[in-house]
């Protein structure tokens, strides 16, 4: 054989071996594992004999309705107070012990007036939460008649976009572009990619409404460069301006200059006006906000077991909108688990359970931190935190209308890299048929988890955290129809089994990997 041919065969062999091992690692091994997982039967599950004690779908759904009927449940508002009383009343009626409201000082930001006029034409807009805030409490407004000044467009507002534009004293308009989540590619990095109906091919992706991405950095650049105000165009969002952003002061300090959101359609109109009028483009931005110090309160309920070691089960009941998916849905699954476990005799529970309803997801996580102070640094041994959020219907936009796809929004579970926790989670997800569930490494998005389990994860508590990111998560259209009603009970059943198995897992297995 000629030397050239030998080399070619060798190269080809190497390529085949490489492709073979890649396929083996990324496709064949997970497929074999999945085949085994699919053999698990519901009748063999840990809680199978107690299924009659599990709240039915309609009851779980009725709690979501009760919470969403209250309105935006921010700490310190009437709705927030009602929701807190509701969680206390539910925990009490289920028979939980040591019910506690962990109080903390929170900031309530509200806006009662806003508006935008560009070159004399009124533009529909929506307030950008947490802005016009320099850290002081009180009422703050733009000047009478609005902040009138030149308006400039800075594209996506990168550092170079700001270099050649003088924004001093002006209103800055910038595109806010959400990043794309490459859902399909998660197949190669996930611990489990459970999509039995093949609804999530490798190419599937979606816009992630959870910032930061170009935003809030473009906002902060405008502020640092002396802009008087900011208008964010929701460029790759549904055609809406009702985006209730989170508080990003942890990234760039207080959001001091006033700011408004506009939809992509209105944004295109504004850009057109600026291009035509140039330096002569003028705008008036009006905003009036109130910043108050209020009391927040996480609601805690306890169920003693044979051991004092604790498995914690949590979600958050606060919301910035009606908050059906975000997060009356997660809270109601926590209520369902509390009601279920309260009916299991103490002798049957190897460990104690702590049910926690947080209320400061939208208020700087102060209750979450107060909970850590009170429950995690004072000798309680929390072996694991199970966090449940966002049981959501998937939507898509067709001709400007938001319509349901008939599928559940893909679910992500972040689970600590502990063999036993990963095995339990995988097995119960597949056993209970929670399709479209992807278990991801905890460092997938950097050091922080984009879920309410993050504060506990950061201090070393093992976590299993369910979440999803439908595009409407922070929008006022997060109404009860967005909740995946038919998935409420299967989700509750799967997590009842996960919790049960955690109560039985040998202590040393919580740290083995
Ligand atoms: Zn949530």
| Share above pLDDT 70 across residues of the chain, in percent, rounded to a whole number | 94
With a cut of 80, say whether residue 212 has pLDDT above it.
Answer: no
**Residue 22's pLDDT is what?**
58
> Cβ distance 471 to 395 under 8 Å?
yes
What is the spatial distance between Cα 198 and Cα 56, in angstroms, rounded to a whole number? 29
**Residue 12's pLDDT is what?**
63
**Residue 26's pLDDT is what?**
63
- Select from 251, 384, 347, 294 the least CA-distant residue to 79: 294
- From the CA of 325, how far away is ligand 1's center (Å)? 8
Tokens of 144: 């009478």
CB atoms within 10 A of CB 134: 11
- From the CA of 15, how far away is ligand 1's center (Å)? 45
**Residue 18's pLDDT is what?**
60
**Residue 509's pLDDT is what?**
94
- From the CA of 452, how far away is ligand 1's center (Å)? 7
With a cut of 60, say whether residue 152 has pLDDT above it.
Answer: yes
* Average pLDDT of span 23-43: 83
Query: If pLDDT is split at 50, 70 and 90, which confidence band does 387 have?
Result: very high
| Sole residue written with tokens 């369902």 | 336
- From the CA of 451, how far away is ligand 1's center (Å)? 7
- From the CA of 163, how far away is ligand 1's center (Å)? 37
**Residue 7's pLDDT is what?**
63
- From the CA of 361, how far away is ligand 1's center (Å)? 7
What is the spatial distance between Cα 388 and Cα 383, in angstroms, rounded to a whole number? 17
- From the CA of 466, how far away is ligand 1's center (Å)? 10
- From the CA of 472, how far away is ligand 1's center (Å)? 12
**Residue 19's pLDDT is what?**
57
**Residue 24's pLDDT is what?**
57
- pLDDT, tens only, 217-249: 999 999 999 999 999 999 999 999 999 998 888
With a cut of 60, say whether residue 20 has pLDDT above it.
Answer: no
* Average pLDDT of span 307-333: 97
With a cut of 60, say whether residue 172 has pLDDT above it.
Answer: yes
Query: If pLDDT is split at 50, 70 and 90, which confidence band does 512 have?
Result: confident
With a cut of 60, say whether residue 373 has pLDDT above it.
Answer: yes
Q: What structural domains and CATH numbers belong to the chain?
A: 38-106+294-510 (3.40.630.10), 109-190+205-293 (3.50.30.30)
**Residue 127's pLDDT is what?**
98
With a cut of 90, say whether residue 462 has pLDDT above it.
Answer: yes
What is the spatial distance between Cα 115 and Cα 499, in angstroms, rounded to a whole number? 49
Q: What is the CA radius of gyration of the chain?
A: 25
Beta bridge partners of 464: 386, 415
* Average pLDDT of span 440-452: 90
């Amino acid at each position: 054989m000629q030397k050239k041919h030998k080399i070619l065969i060798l190269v080809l062999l190497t390529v085949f071996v490489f492709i073979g091992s890649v396929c083996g690692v990324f496709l064949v091994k997970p497929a074999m594992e999945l085949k085994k997982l699919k053999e698990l039967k519901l009748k063999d599950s840990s809680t199978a004999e107690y299924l009659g004690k599990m709240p039915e779908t309609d009851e779980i759904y009725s709690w979501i309705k009760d919470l969403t009927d209250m309105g935006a449940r921010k700490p310190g508002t009437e709705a927030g107070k009602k929701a807190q009383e509701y969680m206390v009343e539910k925990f009490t009626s289920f028979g939980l012990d040591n019910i506690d409201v962990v109080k903390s000082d929170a900031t309530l930001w509200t806006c009662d007036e806003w508006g935008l006029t560009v070159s004399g034409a009124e533009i529909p807009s929506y307030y950008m939460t947490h802005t016009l805030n320099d850290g002081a409490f009180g009422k703050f407004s733009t000047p009478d008649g609005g902040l009138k000044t030149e308006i400039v467009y800075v594209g996506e507002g990168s550092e170079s976009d700001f270099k050649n534009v003088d924004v001093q004293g002006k209103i800055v308009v910038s595109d806010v572009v959400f990043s794309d989540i490459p859902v399909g590619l998660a197949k190669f990095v996930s611990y489990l990619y459970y999509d039995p109906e093949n609804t999530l091919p490798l190419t599937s992706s979606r816009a992630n409404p959870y910032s930061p991405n170009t935003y809030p950095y473009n906002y902060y650049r405008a502020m640092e460069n002396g802009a008087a105000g900011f208008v964010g165009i929701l460029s790759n969002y549904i055609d809406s301006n009702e985006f209730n952003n989170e508080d990003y002061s942890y990234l760039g300090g207080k959001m001091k200059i006033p700011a408004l959101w506009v939809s992509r359609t209105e944004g295109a109109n504004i850009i057109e006006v600026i291009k035509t009028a140039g330096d002569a483009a003028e705008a008036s931005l009006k905003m009036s906000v109130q910043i108050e110090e209020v009391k927040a309160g996480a609601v805690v309920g306890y169920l003693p077991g044979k051991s004092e070691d604790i498995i914690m089960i949590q979600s958050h009941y606060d919301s910035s909108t009606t908050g059906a998916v975000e997060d009356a849905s997660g809270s109601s699954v926590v209520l369902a688990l509390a009601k279920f476990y309260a009916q299991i005799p103490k002798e049957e529970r190897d460990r104690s359970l702590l049910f926690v309803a947080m209320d400061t997801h939208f208020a700087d996580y102060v209750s979450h931190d107060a909970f850590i102070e009170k429950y995690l640094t004072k000798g309680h041994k929390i072996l694991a935190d199970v966090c449940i959020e966002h049981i959501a219907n998937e939507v898509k936009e067709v001709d400007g209308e938001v319509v349901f796809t008939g599928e559940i929004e893909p679910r992500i579970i972040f689970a600590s890299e502990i063999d036993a926790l990963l095995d339990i989670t995988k097995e119960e997800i597949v056993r209970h048929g929670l399709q479209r569930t992807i278990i991801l490494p905890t460092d997938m998005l950097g050091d922080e988890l984009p879920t309410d389990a993050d504060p506990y994860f950061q201090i070393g508590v093992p976590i299993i955290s369910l979440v999803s990111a439908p595009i409407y998560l922070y929008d006022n259209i997060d109404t009860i129809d967005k909740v995946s009603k038919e998935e409420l009970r299967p989700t509750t059943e799967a997590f009842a089994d996960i919790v049960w198995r955690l109560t039985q897992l040998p202590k040393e297995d919580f740290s083995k990997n």
